[in-house]
Every structure is written in C-alpha cells, then in structure tokens.
Chain A
Amino acid sequence: MKKLTSHRLLWPAVVLIALLLANLLWNHSFFDITLRDGNLYGAPVDILRRAAPIVLVALGMTLVIATRGIDLSVGAVAAISGSWASMYIISSADGASVSVVLTAVGVALLMALIAGAWNGFLVSVLGIQPIVATLVLMVAGRGLAQVITDEKILYPDNSPAYKLIGGGYLLAVPFSILLAGGIFALTAVLTRKTALGTLIESVGVNPEASRLAGVRARPIIFLAYVFSGLCAGIAGLMLTSNSTSADPNSIGLFIELDAILAVVIGGTSLAGGRFSLAGTLIGAFIIETMDAFVVIAISARSTDVFKACVVIIVCLLQSSRVRAWLLNVLRWGRTPTRTHHEPPPPTASKDLQIPSPIATDPATDTTNGSETTNGSDTKTVKATS
C-alpha cells in the first residue's frame, strides 16, 4: 500500500479520475461512445482528440525540461510546419495524391527538425540560456509562417489524405490519437531502452557530477531540442489538417503554455532531472478534461482562469517551502520523527574484495551473481609484516 501511495503518479491520476467523475455527474451521457459509419464518437473521444497535439508537444517539452531547459518556440514551429504543408498541398495540382501529401509532410517535418537543431545549437554549443534562445524562434517563427503563407489564411480542402492526419479515422479510431499514442510509445522506448533517459536525468539532476563522470552533455541536450522540434512539427500538421482553415497567426498559439503545464502537473520538475512521460500524458488529459468540465459546468470563457488557478496550486504544492509548512501542519499532534539517517554501527571489519576483471563483451560475460570469498580470482588483503 505504501508503494502505491508514494508513487509519483498517484496524485495526478487521482485528479484525473476526479475530473472524469465530475464530468460524468454533470453530464450523464459523458462516457457514451457511439459507433457511426465505422468511426467512434463521443465526449471521451473528443477529449483524446483535442489532447493529441498537446500530448505530442508536451512529450518533446518533457525531455527538454528534464535537461534543465525550456522550449518556447514549439507553437511557432508548429505554425511553420503546418503552414508549409498546407501551402504545398493547396498550390499543387493534385492535392489529394498520396505522394504530394507525403512530400508536404516530409518537407514540413524536415523544417521542424532544422528548427529544433537551431535551438539545440544555441543552447548546447553557444551556451545561451534556453528561455532566451527559444524566444528568438518563438518570435521569428511565426513571422516565417506568415511569410510562407503570404499572410493568407489557407483552406486545405482538397486533400482527404492530408485531412487524415488531424481529422481522419483509422480503424474506427481518430488517426491523431493513434499517431500521438504511437509517438508516445516511441519516446518511451527511446528513453528507456537506450541510455538516453538515464543520461538526460543525470545531466538534469547534477550537471557537474555528470561532467566529472564523463557524460557528454552536449549531444544529449542537442538531441532533446531536435526531438522537441520534431514533435512540434507533427503537432502542427495535426492542427492544420484538422481545422478547415490554417491561420499562421493562430496555429499552435499558446500551445507551449499548455505543454509546460502538462509537464508540470505530471510531476516533472521545471528545475530538471527526473521526468515522467506517463505523468505528462496524464497532465495533458487533466488539462483537456478540466477544460471540458469548465465549458459545460461554468462557461467556455472561464477556462483560462481555471487553468491559471491549477498552475498556481500545482506550483505551490511543488514548492519546498509550502510542502514544509504543510508537513508541519499535518504532523501537529504527532511526535516528530527524525528522518535523517544515523550512521550504521561500525561493521566488524569484513574485508572488501575487488571484483575480478569484467569482460567487456556481454556475450562472453559468464560470471554469475555470486561472489566467491576465497576464490582464486580475487585477492583479500593480508597483513604484510
């Protein structure tokens, strides 16, 4: 039980469940999912679909924040990639053909990767503060999107293939949900099946100790920003293909704020270090579910105020001062327990052994877990006279 209550994801999960229940209480048909024309519809589907672009951006943002950075340019990058793709499809002869769509998507994502690499370069090579470095692209990026679309609002109506990304269905499920889910899975694999996750956390928790341990921070930080750019690019495609119009001014506007919020609610600290992709996912769902609730229960215009209050409460709870005060209040009446560690009593001097040379090739590593105490391949220290 203790393991469950101390799990990091507990509180975000509880909040999410509470919001879902609140929605249900207000609207008894909240969980009704219907199947029409072979596609799923319903309030939960809408929430998932609206959350998809935010989840994407928040995934990239999670990694960047874990390296003690921030990426404010994701909205602008989304605008660039979405505008470009829309522009290309509209101005091409056969917007519905798959090859046109693929080219549009490919080039748009390439631009997003370049944007991410640019940010990565500024932060990891030039050593510029992340807020400042990504601010440049945040400002200039939207301008570029406007230049790309010639300041027009686009209506990429001529391409169902493109529409698939944001608005279409695959196997009865909205494609965007599948896409976001797929990228989530990919990110999880990328961070936990390679050493990337651990090294990111290491750099974020203690950059100096990591440096002294020989960790090369530069490529890791660079990669985080490139990934963030890519995620923003995909999100941009989702957003523009889903709406009937692509306005370079408003694609992804404020999405960086929602993404940061999702990351923070999900338990990753803004100061960097340990991160949780699942937490970010839950955080994004919390935002959308809360929005849905506020819209039906209060008014559509109050969502921002509520978001602000949630941010403030979450930040206060994460602040160590507030936590210390709360713990004091909760502990009132109980005898204070010392939580520091008394050093263990002196151990009888058991000899420490130096393990035998380690085979570097895992395939030939045949040693088992047990350590021989008097084996021939270890030496215990004897007193020499």
Chain B
Amino acid sequence: MTESRADSDRPVVEMRDISISFPGVKALQNVAFRLFPGEVHALMGENGAGKSTLIKALTGVYAIDSGTISVKGNDVLFSGPAQAQQAGIATVYQEVNLVTNLTVAENIMLGREPRRLGLIDWRRMRKHTATVLKGLNLDIDPGSLLGAHSIAVQQLVAIGRAIDVNADVLVLDEPTSSLDVKEVAELMAVIRQVRDKGVAVLFVSHFLEQVYQISDRITVLRNGELVGEYRVAELPRLQLVSKMIGKDLAALEALEEGTKREAVERTEGGAFLAAKALGRKGSIEPFDLEVHPGEVVGLAGLLGSGRTELVRLLYGADHSDTGATTIAGQDVKLRSPRQALNLKIAFASENRKAEGLIGDLSVRANIVLAMQAERGWTRQIPRRQQDELADRYIKALDIRPTSPDTLVRNLSGGNQQKVLLARWLLLEPNLLILDEPTRGIDVGAKAQIQKLVAGLSEKGMAVIFISAELEEVLRLSHRIGILRDRRMVDEIVNSESTTVEDIMDIIAAEAQPA
C-alpha cells in the first residue's frame, strides 16, 4: 500500500474556492476539496452542509458560480454528466440510476456496447459482463432483467458499471444505504481493490462505521463551508460528530434564555400511542416507542439515521411490514394519512415543498386544507369561517405578509413553516409529529416555534419532535430517542444533567459487533 502514498503528492482532482448559490441559498462558499489517487476520501456533513452540491458540481450536474475544478492537472468546465464521465469521473448515485427494464449486461455496457460491423455484438457483451460480475463476486445471470433483483444487487451492478469504465475517479454517493451486512462487506472489498489499483475514491456515507472502516481521509462540510480535511487516524469519532453538527452558539445566544425541560417524566397515565416492533424493510429496523399526552418525545440522530422513516410509519404515510400500533387503547393498522388524521394524529413533513405546501394556493387555502379534507368536498367550510380561522392563525403565529390571499410559494421559509403548523394545529390533534420544523428558518422564527411546541405540550398535546440541532431537542423534550444507521439505539430521559455531548456520545458510539 505504501506506493500509493508516494503518489499522494499530486491530487488527481482539485477543487478550489468553489461557490454555488441558488435563489436565497448559498449552497457552497469557497470550498476546497482534493482527491488523491489510491486513496479513499470520505465527504461528511449534515443536511444543508453542501455535500451533494459539491458532488454534483464535480460530476457535471451543477454549474459552479466561481472557483476552479481541475482534473489531472487540467482545468475543466463540465456542461453535463456526459462530459464529466469523459474526463474520467465515474459516479454511483444514492438512488440506483440504472434502467430496470433492461438486462444486467445492458446496464453495465449501455452506451459502450461492443460492436462488430456496426452492430452490437451480444456474445462479446455477455462475456465481458460476466467478467465484471465475477470481479464483484456477484453470482447473477448477465442476461437477467435488472429489475428482477433487489435494490442492493442493483446498486452493486451500478458500481460494476462505474468500475468497468476504468475511471480515474470513482464517486460513491451513499452506496450502502440499501445493502445488508454481507453486501456491505463485499462492497468494502471491491473498494479496496479499486483503491489499490490507483483510483481515487470519493466516498459519501452517513454510516460512521463504514467511513472509519474504509477511508484514508475525511473532509467535513458544514452550512456550505469547509470545516477541514483530516487523515482518518487523526480524527476520533466524537470529534468528527461534533465538527459535523457544530454548535452555533452565537446564533443561539441571541435568543431569550431558553428553558430546560422540567425533569419530569410525563409518562403517567396511559400512552396515547404505543408502537411495538414496528418496522419496514429497507427503511427502519423494528422499534418500540410510546408517547404520552402532554409529553414531547425528541428524536435525535444524524441525517439518514431513520428518524423520518420512523415517524412516517406512525402516520400511515408508509406501510409497516412488522409490528403493531395501539392508539388510545385500540389496535390499529395504519394504512393511510387519512386514517391517522381521523385518529387525531398530525404530521408536518420535513420536506415542506414537496410534501407540505400547495404552492399555487393561498395561505388561507393551505391553512384550512386538512380541515376541509376531513369534511369532504360537499361541505365547504363557509368563506366567512375560513377567513376568520386564517386571520386567527396568521395573527397567532405571526405569519407575514398578513394577507391570507398571498400565494404560499411567495412566503419565506419560516412563514411557510408556520402556515403548515397552522394547518395541523387547526385540527387540534392529540399527537403532533414535527419533522425538522425549524430547518431553513431564520433564528427569530426558530425561537417562536420552539416556544410554541413547549406551550402545546403544556396544554396536553403529545408531540414528537425531530431536529438535527441537538440543543433544540434537549431544550424541548421530556424523553429522547436516539437513532443511528436506521435503528433506534437508545432512549433516554432528559434530565437536568443531560448534555448535548451525552447525545453525541450515543450517536457516535461504535456499533457492537452483530
């Protein structure tokens, strides 16, 4: 392995001073990044850190606003993925980006099929594919339809395609999210092979275990800026986690002194909702969870740890494979959001734009939507009442601009979030699930919403609160569930002495061998 270190003087990819902005968002600011041949380099950071933007800039999907990218010493300007591929950068994306209606062989060779006299030479293609599959230790028929195989196998085929292209750089974006233990081990072996051949591997993953298993170098991004580049041996887990999450103390100091939750477990009385061994294959391992009236249960964990997947099962937005749910004493099988709403459970998705707002409709229409849906189309909420409700919540939640006719897509992030909150609060649910309600919002609105959540639980509403900011979770929760790698690993009571470090410790702790 030592010969690869000698080459590490000259990076094969160098990104300097990269900045990319989208309307209203600075995705990357003056980020530097380098890839060395014969090395596995992990790129880490939380949501909004800019990881995927950086990768898309490297792979030609996004154009950069400023800065330079050079590959093998030459400055390049990619206008599309095809160009990046030609420059020697092969990418395997998180979502399997292959064509499932074609065969394994075709997927591996698509665009590069071997030809004889102008026509595709199928026999040569099959033979070549068989060799590639053998190198991956994949025992499948090259002529089989890609769609017949599991996502995990499809992902491995995608990796096979990337490797076969003989690129200088291999980018792996969350390649293991759908793989089981055996397949992950297989992949690690393949990555080591590829690295030893001198390829520069860019590895993005939320699974800390895997990062430490395979990487030589780690770069951490946060909020679009570079935190630092480190050698793996010099960066213990806890330091990595704290660099990723960071503590924006300055911002938080601007708020009124927040309160720690009363160190009282609100578990007296029956649970409103109790989930037992609820799980969904490929999404979240079976978990147990109880939520009591008036209690705030916080869910903490890194991005990709399964928090959203967990609550979606509780809301019926996804179907569970295993386990059972009891709500207010009744056993239920949650199959749709409509059902959950009828049982007085509400869910505010983290993906406001795609799953929350009806952008082309007004603030008023968005606020009353869930209530209207409950009544059906025949019984319209009288216009007068709609106006009154909208005005009430606009005032109560300090939504600006104050006209209820404003189209919701013209509001700022914070106000959009408040509109969505109004929608759910209007229904007076017994359980309100909030997934990242303060993300992408200005600090003032953040504080308002946090206090609102505290107030709701005072009044007896059960709340499940997800946030990437551990201080928020600490401030508001009575109990905290901690997730890592799609599994609930621990549940703690939030006492006076619990600190953010405690939570981070649990998140960062080495997984016990299976």
- Are A and B co-members of a single complex? yes
Interface residues of A (CB under 8 A from B): 193-196, 198-199, 201-202, 205-206, 208-216, 219-220, 223, 273-274, 338-355, 357-358, 362, 365, 367, 369, 371, 379-381, 383-385
Q: Tell me the residues in window 403-448 of chain B with beta carbons closer than 8 Å to chain A beta carbons.
A: 410-414, 423, 425-426, 428, 441-445, 447-448
Q: Which 4 A-B pairs have the closest CB atoms?
A: A346-B444, A340-B23, A347-B444, A340-B24
Q: CB-nearest residue of chain B relative to A219? A: B377
Q: CB-nearest residue of chain B relative to A192? A: B380
Q: CB-nearest residue of chain A relative to B456? A: A354
Q: CB-nearest residue of chain A relative to B446? A: A346
Q: Are A216 and B356 in contact (CB under 8 A)?
A: no
Complex Cα–Cα for A345 and B141 (A): 60
Q: Are B358 and A358 in contact (CB under 8 A)?
A: no
Residue numbers in A under 8 Å from B369 (CB-CB): 198, 202, 210, 213, 215
Number of interface residues of B (CB under 8 A): 73
Main secondary structure on A side of the interface with B: loop
Q: Are B259 and A350 in contact (CB under 8 A)?
A: no
Selected from A201, A348, A365, A369, the residue in CB contact (under 8 A) with B358 is A201
Residue numbers in A under 8 Å from B373 (CB-CB): 199, 210, 213-216
Residue numbers in B under 8 Å from A214 (CB-CB): 337-338, 341, 370, 373-374
User: Would A212 and B347 be within 8 Å (CB), given that A199-B377, A352-B398, A371-B392 are in contact?
Assistant: yes
Complex Cα–Cα for A223 and B411 (A): 33
Q: CB-nearest residue of chain B relative to A359? A: B385
Q: CB-nearest residue of chain A relative to B441? A: A343
Distance in angstroms from A130 CB to nearest chain B CB is: 20
Residue numbers in B under 8 Å from A371 (CB-CB): 392, 395-396
Q: How many A-B residue pairs have CB under 8 A?
A: 172
Complex Cα–Cα for A171 and B370 (A): 46
Q: Are B377 and A220 in contact (CB under 8 A)?
A: yes
Stretch of B237-245, B250-258, B298-306, B487-495 lying at the A interface: B250-258
User: Would A354 and B452 be within 8 Å (CB), given that A194-B380, A341-B410, A383-B257 are in contact?
Assistant: yes
Complex Cα–Cα for A348 and B256 (A): 9
Q: Are B398 and A206 in contact (CB under 8 A)?
A: no
Interface residues of B (CB under 8 A from A): 23-24, 254-257, 259, 262, 315, 317, 336-338, 341, 347, 349, 354-361, 365, 369-370, 372-382, 385, 388-389, 391-393, 395-398, 400, 410-414, 423, 425-426, 428, 441-445, 447-449, 451-452, 454-456, 458-459
Q: Are A195 and B380 in contact (CB under 8 A)?
A: yes
Complex Cα–Cα for A344 and B412 (A): 8
Distance in angstroms from A267 CB to nearest chain B CB is: 12
Residue numbers in A under 8 Å from B358 (CB-CB): 201-202, 205-206, 209-210
User: Would A355 and B355 be within 8 Å (CB), given that A349-B448, A384-B259 are in contact?
Assistant: no
Complex Cα–Cα for A379 and B460 (A): 12
Complex Cα–Cα for A51 and B254 (A): 64
Distance in angstroms from A334 CB to nearest chain B CB is: 18
Q: Are B361 and A212 in contact (CB under 8 A)?
A: no
Distance in angstroms from B455 CB to nearest chain A CB is: 4
Q: Are A380 and B360 in contact (CB under 8 A)?
A: no
Distance in angstroms from B132 CB to nearest chain A CB is: 36
Q: A212-B337, A219-B377 are in contact. List 18 more A-B contacts (CB 8 A).
A: A194-B380, A195-B377, A195-B381, A199-B373, A206-B354, A209-B358, A215-B369, A216-B338, A273-B360, A274-B361, A341-B24, A343-B414, A344-B412, A345-B442, A348-B444, A354-B425, A379-B458, A384-B259
User: Would A354 and B396 be within 8 Å (CB), given that A195-B379, A343-B413, A347-B448 are in contact?
Assistant: yes
Q: CB-nearest residue of chain B relative to A351? A: B451
Selected from A205, A355, A385, the residue in CB contact (under 8 A) with B360 is A205
Q: Are B443 and A339 in contact (CB under 8 A)?
A: no
Selected from A274, A348, A381, the residue in CB contact (under 8 A) with B455 is A381
Complex Cα–Cα for A274 and B358 (A): 10
Residue numbers in A under 8 Å from B456 (CB-CB): 354
What are 5 A-B pairs at a CB distance below 8 A? A194-B377, A210-B373, A212-B355, A345-B444, A365-B385
Complex Cα–Cα for A203 and B219 (A): 43
Residue numbers in B under 8 Å from A209 (CB-CB): 354-358
Selected from B341, B356, B380, the residue in CB contact (under 8 A) with A193 is B380
Distance in angstroms from A205 CB to nearest chain B CB is: 5
User: Would A358 and B426 be within 8 Å (CB), given that A199-B373, A208-B355, A211-B337 are in contact?
Assistant: yes
User: Would A208 and B354 be within 8 Å (CB), given that A214-B373, A344-B400, A365-B385 are in contact?
Assistant: yes
Q: Are A362 and B361 in contact (CB under 8 A)?
A: no
Complex Cα–Cα for A347 and B397 (A): 12
Complex Cα–Cα for A206 and B452 (A): 28
Residue numbers in A under 8 Å from B455 (CB-CB): 352-354, 379-381
Complex Cα–Cα for A213 and B359 (A): 14
Q: CB-nearest residue of chain B relative to A354? A: B455
Distance in angstroms from B194 CB to nearest chain A CB is: 38
